[in-house]
Structure 1
Amino acid sequence: MAEDIKFPGFSIFSPNAWAATWGDWCGPGWSGGQRDADLSSEQMAAMPIARSIGPEGGEPRDSPIDKTCHEHDTAYQEADEQTGVDKDELKYEADKKLLEDLDALDWSQLSKTEQEYARQMKTAFILKKLAYEALSTNPNNHFYRFRDDLYRTEFEKITEGNRGDGSTSILDSIRDLLKRASMLLSPIVLDLDGDGIETTRESLTTFFDYDGNGFAESTGWVGADDGLLVRDINGNGWIDDGRELFGSETLLANGSKAAHGYLALAELDDNHDGMLNAADPAFATLMVWKDSDGDGTSLASELITLDQAGVQSISIIFTSPFLVDKNGNQHKQLGHYTTTSGETRLSADVWFQVNSMASFNVDVVSVPDDIAGMPFIQGMGNVRDLHQAMVRDDSLQWVVNQFSSARTLAERNAMIPSIIYKWTGVEDVDPTSRADTEIFGNVIGDARKLAAMEAITGENWYSIQHSPNPRPEAARTLLRAYDQFAEYIYGLLTAQTHLKPLYDKIEFTWDMDQMNFIGDLSGVAAAITETLAFDRWAGLGQLTEFVRTLKGIGLLAQVKTNEFQLAMDPLGSDVEQIINYSWAGLVATSAHDTLAGNSANNRLHGMGGNDILTGYDGDDLFNGGIGNDRLDGGSGNDTYLFERGAGQDEVMDYDAVGNGDVVQFAEGITSGELFVTRGARDLFLSYGSNDRITLCNWFVNDQYRIENFRFADGTLWGAASMDDRIIWPTATESSDILFSSAAADILNGLDGNDLIYAEAGNDTLDGGTGNDTLEGGTGDDTYLFGFGSGQDIVYDLDSTNGNQDRIILGVGIAPEQVKIGRDFQHLYLTLLGTSDQLTLKNWFIEPTARVEQVLFADTTMWDAASMESMANTVTEGADFLIGLAGDDLLVGLGGADLLYGEGGNDTLCGDGGDDTLAGGPGEDQLDGGVGNDLLQGGAGNDRYLFGRASGQDSVDDQGGQDTIQIAADLNPEDVRVWRDPWNLMLSITGTTDRLTLVNWVTVENNKVEQVLFADGTVWDVNLLSIVANTPTLLADYLTGDDGANSLDGQEGNDELLSGAGDDILIGGLGNDRLNGEAGDDLYLFRRGDGQDLLCDYDLQVGNCDTIQWGSDILPEEIQINLRGRDLVLSIAGTTDSVTILGWGNSVAARIEQLSFANGVVWNEAAIQSHLVITGTGGDDTLYGTAGNDILDAGPGNDTLYGFQPYSGTGNDTYLFRLGSGQDTISDNDSNLGNLDTLKMVGIAPSEATLHRSMTDNNVTTI
């Protein structure tokens, strides 16, 4: 069997790296060469089955695996031989049958090798099936056309640990640095078979797009026997994302996300009887998704009606027991449903473990050949694969091309931040935007580094203080993660470009002992040796880059490093030093290192520096050495060694409960000096003057706990005894984290922003001054709050029947001094005339989170019911008012109010203040009153009132036949209608009053259907569209269709968008933006027309767009400059200009000719001949084009390139003057006869000197 499955050597970047599962074929017989694509189906069917040895040894027998694969491969060949059928569909059916046959095998009769082979093959074909199903929803997509960009890529994501490029270890290390445990997202699950709700573990086999952002994340999932409650909202026959489930990602009527699935269900309970059944109209729209294959993709056969599922009714009443099943998925809310036979069965909102970093990009587009040949990096988190990203961003493609052509290490290093920022979509983030505003300032440096980490993990970062802005300790860890990621990206890009010849020489073969691929570096060693003999400096540079990138990619544990060192060390001490410095086996250096083991039993030694050591599977031994290290043992019985002076280390050990992990203390460290303390999540072991071990997530889950603590004198502590050894923290005047015992404790945080966690017992919690968070836990708890207490949060989650928690307000606080407020989730107690406020967290969404009483010093007592009633009392301040199920009248008075009508035909009036009015279901009337208000009618036929002094209001309407009622004192001629790309606006002439109809242009469901005046005039949708597209003397947004349009903006700063067709666009006076799109477009520009922007992106071959200059504009008046990517055409002596956006980046963005009234026409060559590429006066980087360019950078220390990767080279001229600064010219042109010129303007020969240094020539002015 070993010979049957041994692959020939392959490069890790070869498209055929996975010969056994690549494309059409699968079995060991194929891998061993026994079946061939040139055979007919009959010949293939006659080929022998590969032989293998079973689990008990003995003589070889026909491999059960290859027998299954033999049938699959024959079916593929039969499909190729047929005509007039969908061959791809036949192959897809063969893939499905292969998976079914593999599942049907008796795996106990397979050897360990056969099981491993079958498991990896099954994983590959599961993902191939996923990809087919995802793409087949679009009839214009063809699966096999995309397999290079989707199937292989996504297959590599799953099999990365066994493929050999090490990215899983590197990315997991980054994830751990960022302390990214799995996130939790939920849908409601129904127990369909009556044996309880079953789930699967998150293990890179099921992917689902919960938040609808185009990325399906690896997730825990529902078992095959149970079902998800779903609703196909868009009616496409699929469950696209979490918005069509009932859970944490369901959008409520107000646009916010549901806190959990039962709240989402509650909105469909029209008759408010506490259950959903046939009496509720929405009940008929619900279905059950029984995902029988567990792939996260809904097939039509998997979606069944409630009647087919036997569901009679679903209760929306739930309890909150917070159960965690064996697969780590949390059942936070439990309910029930009734079957058609009258049986009561379980429902639950299951919060699945979700790995947001392991994502599947579902919105795939075709990759053109030029990008397909460029370096590739798989996507992760919310970041697309590099090829997919470059298709969408030609500036990213350009900078990756620059990296590929860069000649020096310094140039390549300098480009990595730009590549990362563009690829992750954070280029425009303000670098200073993540500064800590309280104490420490901007310790993160460039905020784009943190934003990039958030993008690749798919999660926003927050500190333990719930701040998005890191403090020093967190910043060090975050920057360490970014640096490691930057090395990873540098390594992958370099391995596919400058070092590709070396990486192509690595040959991987299957290692039977480690059950993994191991790379042979013999070919690499021979190539570097040859370079050293020819040019030692070049050879040393090549070696340095190779060992650096091998480590950066994470390949050290999967290549034969010892053999490589033995081959290289005799070549000189400098060679030996380079290798040892970078990676001497799995022993780090004195620098900050990252070492990763494999599934074997590894010994990892950090030495000096702040190291990251990752062991994965196996019984690993860790010694972080000196420095603040992070140690991650993974599964297995791991041992962590700690000596005096080891620093402040973190241990992350997530493994099965009862596993035998050990913290071993070195000689001289006694149990008597160990100081045990705790944080909210972690346990801390301190000893000596500055040594500390952080056991991460100790209090989160028992699977994070180390089982044994051993001392050199034989003392042994177990995990169960550690809680008793904790030295509880005491309060200080700073920000503290305090914990209670199981008894009745009194906890006072004193000054500072404290976190106080109480457990069991009737505890008393007083945050003191500062903004504190108080969590009471179980028991009848008391919270103290008074003047000067700050802005505190109370979270009292206790489901005990008869529980009586209370808030005692300080002496001197009278009931009339306390204002009760609310929002959708929380209840607020505010002390009037102060900034003191107490937030009762989740009061309205979690019944078990309610505090039962508020007590005053004068013995006044408010119970929960009276507080809820007071929360809906209107004041002149900012109020949050919610109506009932019937027809409500809600008036906000003064302040920025939020009014929500709930069900019924409601009348909402904001009165004064900037208010938000949400009508909810029903036919509602909304009047924002004075102020800038947001009006949301929701479903139903709603009416919006608007008139003088209404302010600048916005209407966001989601359906129905809706009306805007204009005030009686206004006539149609008083109201102006206009638009932008998304919204329609109505403004009252002579005032600042304006009504914005949000997304009226782009979303059909957001349209308000009519505007009604008191005189009976009605403007319907058609009339509004026409009026909005009529030019005025103000700023207009005008559009055309795909025919031949003529658009004239007249005066004002207008935007004209003509669509396809041969169009005429006239901006007129003002600074306009003109978008011609496809077609042979004509742009008219006259003297005095201002500073216009022109965007004309047209890929059509032979396209000819023209700028027609006004009758008094002569050719000699036109000045042409290339500024960055844009071509600027200016009229001499005026401020008038036309800027052609993207002209320097893409041929498709160019205007082909300029036409003058005197008959002169400039084509592209003439435009090029007049072009001067100019700088800004700062430190610029200028790039030439394909032609003969003139580059004038002006003042500043500039870099000038006479070429660009898209266009080639030419005979270029570089202008240089006194005051031009210290410029660098790079002109890479190998064409014979090329003549480039450095023109010294105003500089005499006697004022310049010429000399050289290494590879460069330097010109200096005297």
Structure 2
Amino acid sequence: MNEGEVVLTPEQIQTLYGYASRGDTYGGWRYLANLGDRYADNAAAIVGKDANLNGLNLWMKKGVENLWDDTVGKKTRLEKFDRVALQHFSQYVDLINENNGRLPNTSEIERSYYKAVTYHGVSSSAAIDLVINRSLPDMADGYWALGLGIEAERIHNEQAVNNPNGSESDNRKQLISALDKGFDGSFKEKHFTFLQSVIMDVTKLGVEYTIDGWQKIGGWGNGIINDLYKSVAKREWTGIFEIVNNNIKQFRDLFPNPEGWIDDGHQCFAPWVKETKKRNGKYHVYDPLALDLDGDGIETVAAKGFSGSLFDHNGNGIRTATGWVSADDGLLVRDLNGNGIIDNGAELFGDNTKLADGSFAKHGYAALAELDSNGDNIINAADAAFQSLRVWQDLNQDGISQTNELRTLEELGIQSLDLAYKDVNKNLGNGNTLAQQGSYTKTNGTTAKMGDLLLAADNLHSRFKDKVELTAEQAKAANLAGIGRLRDLREAAALSGDLANMLKAYSAAETKEAQLALLDNLIHKWAETDSNWGKKSPMRLSTDWTQTANEGIALTPSQVAQLKKNALVSLSDKAKATIDAARDRIAVLDAYTGQDSNTLYYMSEEDALNIVKVTNDTYDHLAKNIYQNLLFQTRLQPYLNQISFKMENDTFTLDFSGLVQAFNHVKETNPQKAFVDLAEMLAYGELRSWYEGRRLMADYVEEAKKAGKFEDYQKVLGQETVALLAKTSGTQADDILQNVGFGHNKNVSLYGNDGNDTLIGGAGNDYLEGGSGSDTYVFGKGFGQDTVYNYDYATGRKDIIRFTDGITADMLTFTREGNHLLIKAKDGSGQVTVQSYFQNDGSGAYRIDEIHFDNGKVLDVATVKKLVQQSTDGSDRLYAYQSGSTLNGGLGDDYLYGADGNDLLNGDAGNDSIYSGNGNDTLNGGEGNDALYGYNGNDALNGGEGNDHLNGEDGNDTLIGGAGNDYLEGSSGSDTYVFGEGFGQDTVYNYHVDKNSDTMHFKGFKAADVHFIRSGSDLVLSASEQDNVRISGFFYGENHRVDTFVFDDAAISNPDFAKYINAGNNLVQSMSVFGSNTAATGGNVDANIQSVQQPLLVTPSA
């Protein structure tokens, strides 16, 4: 089996046959879709009822109905469509069975549908799969299947049916006409509602692969012949798919998905849920009895939100996310109402099992014990209820029992269930615990594990089991998905007159201020639809600690002990008043999270007040999320309905001209409303292809500033909205992104993404990132402190910086800092930093290809590279290139940096810092107190005049201190220190760990001119009182020594000072005892070098 391939089990196939026998084709296709069959998504849409469909699915169904009506007639469709659909589904299941659980390929699907229509006497021209396949003969094989969502590995190139009715051209026309009619009926008059439904469909079904298929199909549409364009009322195939493909994506960006707010909601509820232990001291768990069916122990899975198991544990009609038993183990269950389904926790064995005395069981074993009719502590055939027991093995892990998942104990070879157990409290991982463990006996005499579980509960992710039938009017109401113990907003409103009235009033409110004034009431009214609202006792402050069977302890042992001792501090009156003020919000959050905050436990007053803080913070985040996610369904929806479509160059595009007019119309009577509405549409909708919107916003900002209203408008918007307006992103198209002037013109971020984008930072400190494509960055006067990030590795792109408002090159300076290019206005009004421009010497992915000016001048990369190497009279930073460069610092304290080539780096006047690269470089300090660093390579360092610091680093370097009191350090390599006349009082530090030989060269000096003197651990070579060299640490050991001393008349290599005996006050001591301060006696000198060395034996000065 291939990775990700869907292969059905025999039990799942039997479930499908059950759907077929009941004639439930829609249910069968949906069952397959939930198992991962992508084709089934579309098949379910085609056979579904209109009331159950929206958007894409409804469009597809209407298209199929139109195809039948156009080809075989409406009467035939009404009489035979359902019969054809049922036969196709039944044959599809047969194919799965014949393929040992594998899904049919495209050829098999085509053959099945052809067989179904022809069996019932219907023309094959009505077979949607065949028509699509025959409509696209000039496309690559399988594109039709990708369009229908079928996986690539299921695409088969065989043409299963050789002679479908109708010619190739007829098939094309019929298909496009059918989809066109369906599109008109669904979209033409209510495009916003239709597209909103489309996005809902895509999100719910997760069919992004279908969008991918449509992109491929849409690309083919350009080849359709002209007469086919005319035959479908000037709307060609590619136009249809571009609307569904590109414009839907734009609409998806435009407004938040009503389903998607839950993700934000869960995030905002996270602190509240996390603090359950401080608010309640406990957390809720579910408590069923489970059996190990495969002999590897009872295994569980984590609660996974909507992607995992949801089950109604407590019988309130709400399925919530839960930890669950893995697919290879099972839950002991009993179908009490005989409907063939395990409805809720009452039909499991656990703490939701009601006992005969009306109480609830403490745990699963206590629940099962009540069925022991003969009192032998074993449940077997001797007990009346034994035959009614089942094991639920949830094979697809959805929390919904299917017929094939419920097995009798006899089928599983289970003879008896032992009621004996022991408390184990074993952590199973994934938030689940094995509380009690026992065993059961099989018919073969072996035993296996049975245990009572504590399963993790996630009440945030919830789905009501029943659906509320909505009237046409109710279905138009704004909606948010349900959460916790709350239904979807419009369903809850259908059941609550108070909520319905509040939602209607909120939706009708025309300004942000008006909606915010109603928001708390709306949130509260939705919370009041919680079935537990008003039934709970007020939250109490208590130290009375109790724990029930379905609760885990979230406190530490010491905290529990403290509670049991009643050792809690008392709260101040102020703290109590603060908590009392938060009680209502706590009740509201309980409804949204499905929790119950009955008791507040606390270790200190600080703990108690922190709960209030978390409560208020969570509530504020909840209010913000609800406001933002209702915004485009309420106050801003009239604007959205002004967006239409137009055809340009045979392509459909969004037309925003009506939207601009709508905002300007509102501005005539209420400038603040227009300003706020437009700002929030741009901030939260992010309709990035609406370039005019940001330009319009910039105009509104300027007008508001002139009228003295800008600050007032910003206060209405709030800091978060203002911050969002300072950031905008582009699309895959060619976008124009502009700083609209919010946030006092600071911290604006523009992201171009794909396409050839134009980014206009405007005034302020902006961040501009073009993304891929040929992008243009525009800067006018007063552009501020801006940063350009232009990473784009694609070939053929051409990125440009354009200076406007009369800015010319001579008004700017071009400098380099590291790999960044800095373009500064000489008048100090702004700077553009192009990050990493010089990566790979300006040929890398970050470069700007050209810089343009209003006077027509263009600077290419080569010109910019020259400009940034020009010195000034000030402090410059100059950088070499990899091929080798000559840099002249000139006046000022400069920084010069070499690269990998052989560079000539001249500091000239000033106190300069010069850094070599990896080549064989020449560093000249010139005048001033300079610092020269050689790094890799065989470098020549010349300090020149001044007190200089020279460091050769790696390589065989030559260090020339020059005039002044210099510090020279050769580091590794065979280094040469050169001293000439008037070299001053220098220090050499020659520590190295390698075995290389270092040399000290005195140019213009004879050996007799230089005296060797020991000063502590240093060796001093003195030519005069003004000129001497101190070799630091020379007598510490061989790692500090200079090996050869070169003079004009002699060279001394590795002199053995140990042979010289200090006579009287002579200072040179025995070299064999480096560092010894004890003077040797005697006066013998090595005869071989006496003539050279004798002058070196001098009497030290006092």
Q: Same fold (TM over 0.5)?
A: no
TM range (shorter): 0.3 to 0.5
Determine which structure has the larger strand proportion and give its number: 1
Q: Which entry has the higher C-alpha Rg, 1 or 2?
A: 2
Structure number with the bigger relative contact order (C-alpha 8 A, sep ≥ 6) is 2
TM-score, normalised relative to structure 1? 0.33
TM-score, normalised relative to structure 2? 0.38
Determine which structure has the larger helix proportion and give its number: 2
